[in-house]
Each structure stands twice: as C-alpha cells, then as structure tokens.
Structure 1
Amino acid sequence: MDTSSPPPPRDDTQVNGVPATTPPSRSPLARDDEPDNVERERKRDDEEGDDGLRPACGSDVSLPQILREVDSFLRRGAPFGGESSSGYAEAPMTIELLCERVESAIGRYSSGSRLGCDPDDEACLFDSISRLSRLTNKLESASSKESSQGVQVLSRTSSVLQRAMLFLEDELRWSLDRQLRTNNELESKSIKAKPSFNLVCEPDRCLLEPNSEEDELLPVFSPEMVSRMNRICSSMIEAGYETECCIVYSVSRRNVFKSALTKLGLENMNMDDVQRMPWESLEGEIRTWISVIKQCATDLFPAERNLCESVFSSSPQISRSLFSNLVRSVAIQLLNFAEAVVLTRRAAEKLFKFLDMYETLRDLVSSFDESYDPDAAGEVRAEILAAKTRMAEAVVKIFCDLENSIKSDNGRTPVPSGAVHPLIRYTMNYLKYAYEYKETLEQVFREHQDGSSNDNNENESTSSDHKEAKFKVANGDGESSPFDKELLTVMDLLDANLDMKSKLYRDPALHYIFLMNNGRYILQKIKSSPEIHKMMGDTWCRKRSSDLRHYHKSYQRETLSRLLQCLSHEGLMVSGKVSKQALKEKFKTFNAMFDEIHKTQSMWVVNDEQMQSELRVSVAAVVTPAYRSFLGRFSQYLDSGRQSEKYIKYQPEDIEGLIEDLFDGNALSMARRKT
C-alpha cells in the first residue's frame, strides 16, 4: 500500500446512527479535558465489573472512554460466537469509533506531519493502535469467524490495522534514514564526537537537526527518537508485522554501514581486483582495512548494538538476531578482502602486513568475546576465527619460503671485496624485524603446530627432535617455542650458505675477510636485538666471537707470513758477511709484496669500523716493528744515494700510513699516496 498517498479520512457524519465523535477543529486523538487518564478509567472499570461497559455513543465520547470500553470488551469471553453476554451488541460501535480515530490520525500524519511534534497525541495513537492489534488478534479466533458480524468487524479492524502498520513502517524508515540523508547532503568525511540534537518542529514536519555541523559515521539519535522507534517497532511486532519491521530496520542500517565504510575509504573489491593490484598499492588498502576493522570494533559495532538493543528492548531475541545479521554482513565484506589478500602470490616482504592483519583479526575475536553475547556473535566469531587461521597458515608458509630461498641460493659469483653478502644482510634484518612480532609469531607457529600435530610423520618428528637438541646446545635451555626453533633453523641454513659462499674466493685471505665480515654482521645483529640474543644464548654468542678470532688469526697468517719471511735474516749471511745481493732481493721482494697487499686489500671492504680498526692495528703491530728492525740493522750495508733509494722504498712511518688504507674499498688509495 502506498503510504505516500493515503486514502482520505472517512467523511461519514454518523457511525451506526451515532454522530462522529471528533470535531474537525480538534486533534483526532485528543484527550478532551477528561481529568482521568486511561489507566484510572481502566481501574474504575475493573471495580465496576461488567456493568461498567456502556455504549459508546454521542459526540462527547472521549478516547479514554473508548479505550476503557475496548479493554473491557477484550477481557470478556469469545465474542460473536459461543456464549452470548450483555454488551456484545454495542461493542461494534466502540470498535468503529476506535477505527475512525486511528484512520483520522493516520490521515493527518500522512498529509505531511510526522510523529514527534505532539507527544501527547503520539502517545494516544500508539495506545489506540495497541488496542486495535489486540482486538484483531481476538477477533481472529475461530468462534468470531463463525458469526457474520464477527467477520465484518474483523475485516474492518484488519483493514485499519494494515493501514496503521504501513504508516508505522513508513515512519520507522523515515526515522532511520533521516540523518543518513542529512549526512549525505553534507558530504561527511570522518567520525566525530557525538553531537547533541534538538527537537525542531517545522510546518507539517518534525525533524531532528544537529546542533553543529560536525558529522559522524553513524547517525546519532536523540533519546526521544530512539524511544519513538522503540514504540513503533513494539507496535509492529505486537500486531504481527515483525518481518516487515525487521526488513525496514535491516535495510536501513546496512545502508548506513555501507556509507560509513565508504567514508572510511574501504573499497568493495572483488578477488580479481586484489589479485591484479601491485603490492605497493595493496599495502595501502591493507592499512585502510586494518583501520576500518579497528573502527568497527571500538566504535561502530558497540554503537550499533546499543541502538539495536534500545529500539528492540521488548524483544531481546529479535535484537540479537538483527545485530548478528548486520555485523555478519559487514564482516563478510571485510573477511572477503582478507581472503583475497591471503590468496595473492606469496613473497617474503608481505610477511609483516600479513602479521598486522592476523593481529587485527585476533583482536577482533577478543573484542567479540569480551563484549557480545555468544548467541548474537557466535556465527560471526566463527568466520573471523576461520579467516585468522587462514592468515596464520599464510604467515607460516611465507616464513618457510624464507628458509627455502636460503637453501636455493646457489649463486657461484662471490661478493666483490669480501663484503657482507646481500642474503645475509637481508635475512638478518628480516629476522630482527620479525622478532618485533615475536609474541604474534609464536602464537601463529604454535597454532600451526597444534593444527598439524596429528599429521606429523616420523621424519618430521625426527626433524623436530633434532631442532630441539640443537636449541638446547645453543641456548643451554630446554624451553623453546616453535618460532624459536624456526629461527634456529634459519641460522643454521645461513651458516651453511655462508660457508659455501666463502669457498668461492680463490684468495685465502679474502676468504677469511668474507667470513669475518659476515660473521661479525650476524653477531652484531643478534646482540642488537635483546630478544634474539636471549633466545640464541650467551653460549652461541661466545662461540661466534671465538670463530671471529680464529678467522682473524687465519687472515694474518695468510697475509703476513710470506711478507715476514722477506724480513727474516735467513739467507743474508754468506761466509759470515751480509750479502748485498741477497739483501737487495729481500728489500725488492718485500716492496713488491707489500705493494701488492696494499693495492689489493685497500679495495677490500670491512664495514664494521671496530673490526676494521682491529685488523689494521694487528697488521701494523706485526709488520711495522719487524720492518723497522730489519731496516735499522741492514740498511747500512747498502750504498748511500741512488742505490739506497732504489731498494729502500718505505720508511716505517710510510708502512704505518699505508696500512691505514687497508679495507677501505678504495682502489685509488695507492695513487693518492704516490702523489
């Protein structure tokens, strides 16, 4: 029925020979000046018994009297059938008067006015509709339908009740959508603090207007508006129009949430849209998604639950059902995005955004557990848990892909200058950052382990035992989480990969410089992360430090052993005298060898300044004293002048200065020294 063009009020001047009860100049549901309210009339009627039912006739019949007589009629036995009792003959007069009052009021409201301008008139209307609902329910009994009079009266009340329900349905829709329309007109952008509202009556309209221009994501209703919607919904449910009421409410609130999510920047993307989106763009969408879920959990869902419980306070089951369905519809849109993200191509750089999404879903589940009735949120919670589980599986697979990438890195080209390998640098920074999510990763791996514990075969069990044993050796502690074991596995893989790559260097000295650079980098990264340091343990760190000292000594041996042989006395003495020719060869060989070391190792890289300084000091501490001693003892045996300058190329101070050029990664250092 089209409520925008209601039928005109009945223009009968009489009802069953009785003049119409409401003069045109007065409100259809006016209480006249009756001093007694409906409740007092009802009490008086109860005291008088059946004799209190009087025919409702004459123009002075007030609404309270009509309602009192209807209540008395409702308390009697089966009408229009079965036993007959006094008063039933006059009952249709009262019912007709009630119907006309309701029709007249609806006609006036439908012509332009809205509920809310006259609270007293509004209360009368709801009281009248309530009696009309109860009348219709009573008249629908089988005994009433056996009487032609009963059928006729039932037809009349049902028709008016249907019109009343269409009117209330329209009022409910208007009330729910009023502020949404206002917000759309203002093109709102963000959520604000809840403003207060004034009840403003305009000609033929009664609107709720905000006191400020601040906008909100969800329309905020005044207590008066909430109370009015509560009475509307209660009336519709009482009349058997529960389905229509719920449809209006659900459609309106879903539209409100759709508008709110749009304002928050959430786009309704399908699976293909997400799959085609570049990762850089998808990261931004994930940030928006996380923000929207947090907004829903902290603001939107609680506000919606409060509104739903207030509007349907008399029907808690309906309230729970409506709220659950609304939240589920919003959750499906949000979870569909998470599902699409999970199905994108796996890559190591996605781990941390996936962890952010996992944490968001985890917190959302906690929010439901703390704030909502299981009956109202059980289904939604189950779907969120399923999405969280899929996100956890994706996180585990991405982390395992890191292990696989280390295993498959079989490059045969050594890193120039023995610098830190990009794989080592990337993996250690990755692990350090991952440990900022330690608690979350531990939870993820524990859930994954628990979920797949029944599927472990014997080899997997052996592997797990092996990891546990290695953890105890490294940490001296039997306590370890699944994520700790995975981290230890990554470290083992890095060690194996590092050892393989160090063998690509033909120069043994550079081999050890490479091991020192990478070993030092790993150790410093471990120590800079207290949690990783604690997990790996002091025993592991001491062993790493011992390995670095071993690499250092091995480098010195490979670099300086042949250089120091040039400064030995062996082969200089011939027949008890210093052989000038042998001496010249010694100086010549030393100069050439030192030049080669300086030229080559100046291009080598040691990024850690402390280790660089330690290496230079150790070289200088060995070479400079030996060279100073050799030069002081044997330089006199060379003729002064050109011969001396030809073979004695460096002074001890020059040696010390040139050693300072080592490990700078600068091929021009020798050229600068010569100029």
Structure 2
Amino acid sequence: MEENPPHKNNSLSKFSNSSVSLDSDKCNDHDAKHCENGDQISEDVDQFINVLSAIDDKSSGLSEVPDFIDTFSKIVEARITGYTSGEINRKFGKMAEEDSFFMESVRRISKLTNALGEFPSDKSINSSLNQTSVALQRAMAFLEEEFRTLLEDSGNDLDHSENFHKFSSFNSKNQQDNSNRCVIQREMDSGESDAYPAYSPETVTKLREIATTMISAGYETECCQVYYISRRTAIRNQMIKLECEISLNMDEVAKMLWETMETEISRWINAVKTCSETIFPGEKRLGESIFSGYPQIHRKMLSNIMRIVVIQLLDFAEATSMAKRSAEKLFKYLDMYEALQNLIPVISVESHSDELMSEVAAAVDRIGDSASSIFCDLENSIESDAARTPVPGGAVHPLTRYVMNYLKYACEYKDTLEKIFGKQTDLNKKCIPITKDLTSQELEKESESPHNFEALDNMTPFSIQVVTAMDLLDTNLDRKSKLYKDLSLRYVFLMNNGRYILQKVKGSTEIRQVMGDTWCRRRSTVVRKYHKNYQRETWNRVLQCLNHDGLMVNGKVNKQLLKERFKIFTTIFEEIHRTQSTWVVSDEQLQSELRISISAVLIPAYRSFVGRFRQYLDSGKQADKYIKYQPEDVEALIEGLFEGNTTSMARRRT
C-alpha cells in the first residue's frame, strides 16, 4: 500500500478531487437555496475548516485546496453584487432567508480565511487565501456601510404599525437575541417606544448581527468607528432638537454679561439633565443590545461617547466658575452643582469610567468653591454695608429684606450647601465665629441680645454659615439704629427689623430647620424687649403727666397745677402723635400689638385721671379748654399711629 507523501495530511484526502461546478449566473439568483449546490458547498466548507483546525502541525502545509473554496468565495461576492445592484427586492434587509444565508456565509468565509492563513504560503494556499480575503474585505466594506446606514437612517423611524412578531431575525435561535427583543417589545407595549434612541426591534437585531459578524471577523476597529461617529452625531442632533445644545467656548463664556450667561446656564442645566436622564441611559441600552456578546467593547464605546459630550459640558462649567463672582449668581451655581452631582452616578453606572467620574467630580468641586466664596462674600458685604442715611420712619431696612430673602432661598438648597461647606477644609478659619464659655451672669446678659453667642459645636457647617450671617446682620442693624437721634424711633427700627427677621424664619420651613425653635423663642424675646423699651421711652413721659402726686394740698386740689398737667398731657400726646404717625410698622400684627399695648397702658390711666379731676375745673367751657381729648379720642388717635402718614388730630366730643 502506497504511503502518502510526508507533506500530505490524510484528513485532507477526501477533499483532494472535490470539485463543484457553479454557474455564475445562478449565483445572482435572489434566493440562496436556488444557487446550485449552495447548501452542499457550505457543508463542505464547514468540514474543511474543522479539518484545518484539527491539524496540530501546520508547518507541513497543505497539498492542495479544494476547488469548492474558490467557488464559495464567488458565491459570497455574488451575494454582495446582488445587494448592490440597485433592485429594490434585492436590498439588504428585504429578504430574511437570503440575508440569513449571506451572514452565515460571511462568518464562514471569515473562519476559512483565518484557518488558511495559519498554513505556510504556497501557490495553492496563496491563490485561495487571496480569493477568500478579497471576498471577506468586500463583505466587511458592505456590512460597514449597512451598519452606518441603519444607525443613521433608522434612529427616529420606528414604525408602530409593524407587527413585531412577524419580523424575522438573523439568528432566531439565539436566546439572548430573543430576550432583548422581548425587552424592546415591552417598551413598545408600555408606550415607551418614543424613548431615545427610537430604533425598532428589527433594526436593533440587524445592527447586533452586523456588529457581531464584523467583530468576529477582526473588523472591530471599523465597526466601532462607525458606531462612535454615528452615535456622536445622533446625540448632537437630539440636543439641538431639545434646544439644549452647548456650543460656546470658554472665551465666549468669559465675555458674557450675566443676563446672557444666566440664560446659557439654564440651557446647560437642561443639557446635563437630558444627558443624565435620557441620552446616557438610552445609549447604554442601545449599546448593550448591539454589542451584547462583547460587554468590554460596549463599555469602552459608551465611555468614549459619553466622554465627548461630558467634556463639552465641563468646559462650560469651568468657564462659568471662573467668571466674576457676585451674590446673584449663587443660586444658578447651586443648580449647576446639583446637575453635575446627579451626573456622577449615571457615569458610574453607565460607563464605569473612573477617569471621567474624577473629571466631573473636579468640576463639581470648582462650582462648589465658587458657591461657597459667593456665600462668604455675602457675609463680607453685610459687615461692610455702612449706609449713613437712616431709613425713613424706622421701617425695615433694605439690607434686612435682601439678606433674609437671600438666606431663605439659600436654605432651600440646604442639603447641597451642607455638602459644599462640609468640603471646605479651612472653614473654621474663614467663617466660624469664635465660640466662648460664658458665665451665668454673661449668659443672662446675652439672652437679651439679638446675637447668637451659644456654643456652635453641634451645628452643621451650613447652619454655622447662616447663624454667622444672622449675627453680622444683627450687628449691622444695631449700628444703623444709632443713626436715629430719637431713642424711641431707634427701638421701633430694631423692633421692625427684628420682627421681619423672625417672621421670615417662621414662614420658611427650610430656614426654620436651620435656625431651630430655640432661636425663634429667643428672637421673640428680643423683639418684646425692644417693644418694652419703646413703650417705656415714649409713653412714660405721658403717664407722668397723669400722676396724682402733688395735686392734693391740705386736702384740696391744686387747680393751677391740674390745668398744667392737662396742658402738658395734650402737648406731649400731640407731639408724639404728630411724630409717630409718620413712623412705619408694616407688619400688621406688630402694628396691632403696639397700639393695643399703648392703649392698655394709657387709656385706663387717662380715663381715671379725667374722671377724678374734671369736676375741679371751674366750668364746662373751661373743662373743654384744658381737656382737649376725651379718652375715646385718644384711643382713636392711637389707632392712627405707625401708618407712615400724618393723621388728623380732630377730637371727638362726648
């Protein structure tokens, strides 16, 4: 029995004379099963690949390559020619069975090319390898273009009228594919089919099949490049569609007026939210479906796609943080801070990119630094506000309104500001007032002060900032109160501002949580103290006129002194009324409390004085001359105090 030549492997002997005739015209037929001996060739190619793979020593080479290998290469090229012929019915994706045969053939020729490439070159190998390589390259170029077309043309063309269950997949036996289609179908059934990105289940299946085929054939770079460029363009188009595209560079941002920048920041915030809530999760879902068999490729692609978008967003954030700082920018900066904070977990979950997360975290810190600096600038501006003109009528100072409204809105960002100030390593040096241990006598004295000298050890960083601002405001108001020469008006001013501060805190859940109920009780005590001081300073002079002391001499009324007392009362009361009716107490409750307290002290004393001593005046006309106002007149005139205008002093007769 003749031995085989040393270089010839027995396992190849059955293919040595294999030859399949192929009519090239039949290869252009639209259905692969009609191509003569097509199925048989596929089986032969598979067997040949298995035989090549089983050869351990490939250095001995091959005696020859079967003729059907060249035939198979021509079949693949014929299919590509058919798809690109321009006939509608021959387009890729129109004939499921033919498409399935083509994709299987491409995977098969890819394996065949790789298997042949492992053997030493010779005339036979080179010829067949060249033919399979050319066919593979043409197939990859074709699939690359189809991949691009599907990505770019199908993104927003989901046809809801299609019956999902009728479309065929390239790989209906693949369990993962079926699972993905079920997920997509559930989204369609639940009304989420318009969610970004809006690819039909059929399109996603085609994209996945092409990607798998290209990557397995060694064309990962080409596949990923097409996917990256297409998705980057799709994201930009989506941002434009939603009117939240950010196209400004850092120089343009730096030159902006605040009014313009404020609008751009709002647009930027919408862009970040859109990326966090819609675009990035949508890109993850799409990538996971298309690259389901290659999770590492998917993560890398998603990371690259997210990075190009995020970097543009971060450039704007950095430019904004470098702009000139002013108090009105705080709340926009806080909105930016929160938007970026919400972006970090999305990047963590979707892309697993530590580098990208670090860059976003750094941008968050820069915005946070800007916000904290602005807040501390508020404290500086409170302390340095040195207006020398008192507010008319002792009304609430504009600084008080500004600071309290500012703090109220700031407290609505309490959680965010707690994070920001918690990161300030030099907080104790910059913004915390020095705490001190007080003796019992000092504590009693300080309890009558509007300032907050309690120990701050248990307070949060942001609470300390608010308390500090409050203390600075109290100090400034105390300084401004001294601009009033009239001591009574000074107390009205402090009372007005103290009451306004208290009502602002009580009226806002957020700021009340920061200041606490103890602070509110203490502030109420301080306002009552101002009230008492005002009443003592103003009305004690009036009450002294109604004192009985000295009116009785040896059991008789000193009529001259009595007349003087009535005249002095009238003069002082009219002076007080004329002056204090121009004073302003805008808080209706405080205004009412003041009037009631004045009436409660003055009216009973005046009524008693008139009732007891009226009879000692000589006649009715003389009594009217000295008793200009009846108690009811005084009570009515008290009702006209603190309205900021001059009230008529006309008296009422009884």
Same fold (TM over 0.5): yes
Aligned partner of residue 31 in structure 1, secondary structure: helix
Report what 1:554 is aligned to.
533
Is residue 448 of structure 1 aligned with residue 458 of structure 2?
Answer: no
Report what 2:151 is aligned to.
176
Report what 1:94 is aligned to.
68
Per-residue deviation, 1:425: 2.0
CA contact (8 A) 1:80 1:143 kept: no
Report what 1:524 is aligned to.
503
Alignment-mate amino acid for residue 75 of structure 2: R
1:153 pairs with one of 111, 128, 132? 128
CA contact (8 A) 2:155 2:199 kept: no
Report what 2:175 is aligned to.
none
CA contact (8 A) 1:70 1:95 kept: no
How far apart are the structure 1 equivalents of 2:42 and 2:559?
Answer: 140
Is residue 590 of structure 1 aligned with residue 569 of structure 2?
Answer: yes
How far apart are the structure 2 equivalents of 1:115 and 1:511?
Answer: 88
1:201-240 aligned at under 5 Å gives the runs: 216=194, 218-240=196-218
Is residue 133 of structure 1 aligned with residue 135 of structure 2?
Answer: no
CA contact (8 A) 2:591 2:642 kept: yes
Per-residue deviation, 1:28: 6.2
Is residue 397 of structure 1 aligned with residue 373 of structure 2?
Answer: yes
CA contact (8 A) 1:403 1:490 kept: yes
CA contact (8 A) 1:218 1:256 kept: no
Per-residue deviation, 1:620: 1.9
Is residue 662 of structure 1 aligned with residue 641 of structure 2?
Answer: yes
**Unaligned residue ranges in structure 2 (runs of 5+):** 1-17, 168-187
Report what 1:191 is aligned to.
none
2:97 pairs with one of 120, 136, 153? 120
CA contact (8 A) 2:395 2:496 kept: yes
CA contact (8 A) 2:65 2:125 kept: no
Identity of aligned residues (%): 48
Report what 1:466 is aligned to.
435
Is residue 383 of structure 1 aligned with residue 367 of structure 2?
Answer: no
Q: What are the superposed Cα offsets for residues 552-575 of structure 1, whole Å, 9 maximum, x if unpaired?
A: 222122212322333345665689
Aligned partner of residue 424 in structure 2, secondary structure: helix
Distance 1:635 1:323, change over 3 A: same
Aligned partner of residue 91 in structure 2, secondary structure: coil
Report what 2:232 is aligned to.
254
Aligned partner of residue 20 in structure 1, secondary structure: coil
Per-residue deviation, 1:282: 4.2
How far apart are the structure 1 equivalents of 2:524 and 2:61?
Answer: 107
How far apart are the structure 2 equivalents of 1:583 and 1:465?
Answer: 58
1:266 pairs with one of 240, 244, 247? 244
Per-residue deviation, 1:269: 2.4
1:512-661 aligned at under 5 Å gives the runs: 512-530=491-509, 532-533=511-512, 535-569=514-548, 580-640=559-619, 643-661=622-640
Distance 1:460 1:89, change over 3 A: closer
Report what 1:41 is aligned to.
none
2:83 pairs with one of 99, 103, 109? 109
Per-residue deviation, 1:255: 0.9
How far apart are the structure 2 equivalents of 1:140 and 1:271?
Answer: 53
CA contact (8 A) 1:266 1:288 kept: yes
Report what 1:434 is aligned to.
410
Aligned partner of residue 143 in structure 1, secondary structure: coil
Report what 2:318 is aligned to.
339
How far apart are the structure 2 equivalents of 1:70 and 1:137?
Answer: 13
Per-residue deviation, 1:640: 3.1
CA contact (8 A) 2:52 2:115 kept: no
Q: What are the superposed Cα offsets for residues 409-457 of structure 1, whole Å, 9 maximum, x if unpaired?
A: 11111111111112112222222232222222212211234xx58xx7x
Distance 1:612 1:543, change over 3 A: same
How far apart are the structure 2 equivalents of 1:70 and 1:571?
Answer: 131
Report what 2:7 is aligned to.
none
Alignment-mate amino acid for residue 82 of structure 2: R
Q: What are the superposed Cα offsets for residues 479-514 of structure 1, whole Å, 9 maximum, x if unpaired?
A: 221111112211211121111011111001001111
Distance 1:222 1:545, change over 3 A: closer
Aligned partner of residue 76 in structure 1, secondary structure: helix
CA contact (8 A) 1:392 1:448 kept: no
Aligned partner of residue 60 in structure 2, secondary structure: coil
Report what 1:366 is aligned to.
345
How far apart are the structure 2 equivalents of 1:198 and 1:89?
Answer: 50
Of 591-600 and 22-31, deviating more is 22-31
How far apart are the structure 1 equivalents of 2:529 and 2:37?
Answer: 111
CA contact (8 A) 1:624 1:656 kept: yes
Q: CA RMSD in A?
A: 3.7
**Unaligned residue ranges in structure 1 (runs of 5+):** 1-15, 33-58, 184-193, 202-210
Is residue 31 of structure 1 aligned with residue 33 of structure 2?
Answer: yes
Per-residue deviation, 1:106: 0.6
Distance 1:579 1:658, change over 3 A: same
How far apart are the structure 2 equivalents of 1:537 and 1:232?
Answer: 64
How far apart are the structure 2 equivalents of 1:80 and 1:479?
Answer: 78
How far apart are the structure 1 equivalents of 2:344 and 2:45?
Answer: 55
How far apart are the structure 1 equivalents of 2:612 and 2:387?
Answer: 51
How far apart are the structure 2 equivalents of 1:367 and 1:537?
Answer: 36
Per-residue deviation, 1:30: 1.4
CA contact (8 A) 2:577 2:638 kept: yes
CA contact (8 A) 1:28 1:101 kept: no
Q: What are the superposed Cα offsets for residues 315-340 of structure 1, whole Å, 9 maximum, x if unpaired?
A: 22211111111111122222233323
CA contact (8 A) 1:116 1:122 kept: yes
TM-score by length of structure 2 reads 0.82
Report what 1:162 is aligned to.
137
TM-score by length of structure 1 reads 0.79
Per-residue deviation, 1:74: 5.8
Is residue 481 of structure 1 aligned with residue 460 of structure 2?
Answer: yes
Alignment-mate amino acid for residue 134 of structure 1: K
CA contact (8 A) 1:346 1:398 kept: yes
CA contact (8 A) 1:70 1:94 kept: no
Q: What are the superposed Cα offsets for residues 207-237 of structure 1, whole Å, 9 maximum, x if unpaired?
A: xxxx999994634223332222222222222
CA contact (8 A) 1:114 1:171 kept: no
Is residue 301 of structure 1 aligned with residue 280 of structure 2?
Answer: yes
Aligned partner of residue 606 in structure 1, secondary structure: coil
CA contact (8 A) 2:244 2:270 kept: no
Alignment-mate amino acid for residue 423 of structure 2: E
How far apart are the structure 2 equivalents of 1:196 and 1:474?
Answer: 72
How far apart are the structure 2 equivalents of 1:301 and 1:346?
Answer: 32
CA contact (8 A) 1:505 1:511 kept: yes
How far apart are the structure 2 equivalents of 1:658 and 1:507?
Answer: 21
1:497 pairs with one of 465, 473, 476? 476
Alignment-mate amino acid for residue 250 of structure 1: Y
Of 523-532 and 345-354, deviating more is 523-532
Per-residue deviation, 1:515: 1.2
Aligned partner of residue 396 in structure 2, secondary structure: coil
How far apart are the structure 1 equivalents of 2:471 and 2:36?
Answer: 99
How far apart are the structure 1 equivalents of 2:594 and 2:49?
Answer: 108
How far apart are the structure 2 equivalents of 1:514 and 1:84?
Answer: 105
Alignment-mate amino acid for residue 348 of structure 1: A
How far apart are the structure 2 equivalents of 1:353 and 1:420?
Answer: 28
